[in-house]
Amino acid sequence: MRIESMTSILDRSRPRLTTTAIGAVHLQGAGGNWTTVGRRRRGGRRVRRKREKRKAKSLGLRVGTLNVGTMTGKGRELVDMMQRRKVDILCVQETRWKGSKARSLGAGFKLFYHGVDRKRNGVGVILKEEFVRSVLEVGCELEEKEKFWLDLDEVMQSIPRSERVVGADFNGHVGAGNRDDEEVMGRFGIQERNAEGQMVVDFAKRMEMAVVNTFFQKRQEHRVTYKSGGRSTQVDYILCRRCNLKEISDCKVVVGESVARQHRMVVCRMTLVVRKMKRAKAEQRTKWWKLKKEECCMTFRKELRQALGGQEVLPNDWTTTANVIRETGRSVLGVSSGRKVDKETWWWNEEVKECVRRKRLAKKKWDTERTEESRQEYREMQHKVKLSGKGQTRSLR
């Protein structure tokens, strides 16, 4: 054992102790080299503790992509699906909403979307609450096929290589097998490759990315992303940097959800090393809006006049006056809890949940049986879900 250094410093955390001696002590023996920190106090003994290296935290993520057909009336249903399927980030296509905005969907989930002037096309990303603060920029352009790929190339070249995933409905078949394309895709696609699918593969090669869906062997049903009538195809893909492919442990299509009629959600599970983010503190606010009520307003005036000593004229000291007003407001009007409230999902209750659950079961039955009776049952449940949401809206009016 040898003592490297010993320094006497002022210990401000303990007023009764005037000095503390701190030194680094190296111990060598069985089990290798160890470093401890010794602390010696006057009249006391040295306490040693092992110095440990901080381990980087790993974060497990489930990222998905889904062509929703339209976002209108589906926000809370998508949140319910993401919670049940434990999806953290969901890329959505064909939102059919105009403009570039962000909207809360409830339960802490938030949608960032971008659309054209007409109510067609449009894309977006739905994030869980803990990832919302990480959003830096939102925006995208979607035009003809050729210009789309040129624009996408420019966007990808401007994105740092630390950004990992692209999820989209590319409307192309990359096909089964990966001959001559082993660096960008696996063997587990479906059907034959078409021209649009070749564009996806060429894009992956240019950007040094990989088509994640094709690297994991799944049943045929868990590879099909689009199903309509007698057609079953794979057109929705998740792409990642080739160097980050080792971070992805699984990728498959989720079967049995009824949010979208034809497309299915693709989900991949990935593990990232991240720094722990500080949780935002809840801020309590005085309920000043209660002053709109005549009764609350009269009570507030009465209490404020008493707090100011019964004077009609306010004191010259504004700081004192402001403090009195704040304290009176808190005591008379009360304060909020500071917790976030789902402003747009008040209508999501047990009745609506049950309708959505029955619609999901009807969709499963229709996918399995493909009979006119099961199809009619599914359409009826879709209609009931819409009516239940509208009924809750009318009951508030």
184-243 pLDDT, tens per residue? Answer: 999 898 888 888 888 889 998 988 899 998 999 998 888 998 887 678 888 889 999 988
pLDDT > 80? residue 94: yes
Residue 106 and residue 305 in contact, taking contact as beta carbons nearer than 8 Å? no
pLDDT at 169 (0 to 100): 76
Cβ count within 10 A of residue 271: 13
pLDDT of residue 317: 73
Contact assessment for residue 95 and residue 123, using Cβ atoms and an 8 Å cutoff: yes
- 3-state class of 48 per DSSP? strand
| Displacement of CA 259 from its chain's centroid (Å) | 18
CA atoms within 13 A on the CB side of 13: 2
Helix (H, G, I), strand (E, B) or coil at 269: strand
> 57-274, which class in CATH?
alpha beta
pLDDT at 301 over 80: yes
- For position 211, what pLDDT does the model report? 92
Position 2 pLDDT exceeds 60: no
Average pLDDT over residues 122-150: 70
Return the domain boundaries, the chain: 2-50, 57-274, 288-333, 350-396
Instruction: Say what the pLDDT of residue 102 is.
Output: 84
CA distance 11 to 301: 51
Residues in the chain: 397
Dihedral sign (CA 23, 24, 28, 34): positive
Mean pLDDT of 313-323: 74
Average pLDDT over residues 257-286: 79
Residue 359's alpha-carbon distances to 160, 314, 364, 383, 385, in angstroms, are 42, 63, 9, 9, 8
Which pLDDT score, from 0 to 100, does residue 160 have?
80
Which of 193-202, 295-304, 364-373 shows the lowest mean pLDDT across its residues?
Answer: 364-373
Give whole-number Cα distances, 364 to 220, 257, 322, 389, in Å: 17, 8, 62, 22
- Residue 380's pLDDT band, with cuts at 50, 70 and 90, is confident
- What tokens appear for 301 in the block? 């005036």
Residue 7 clears pLDDT 70, i.e. is over it = no
Residue 228 one-letter amino acid: S
Q: Is the dihedral of CA 185, 187, 188, 190 positive or negative?
A: positive
What angle in degrees, to the nearest 10, is found between the helix axes of 145-158 and 195-206?
Answer: 20
- Enter the pTM of the model: 0.49
Q: Once rounded to an integer, what is the mean pLDDT over residues 169-189?
A: 86
Mean pLDDT within 275-304? 82
Range of lowest pLDDT (44-58, 122-136, 179-193, 271-285): 44-58
Question: Look-up: residue for tokens 């971070």?
Answer: 247
Contact 53, 71 (CB under 8 A): no
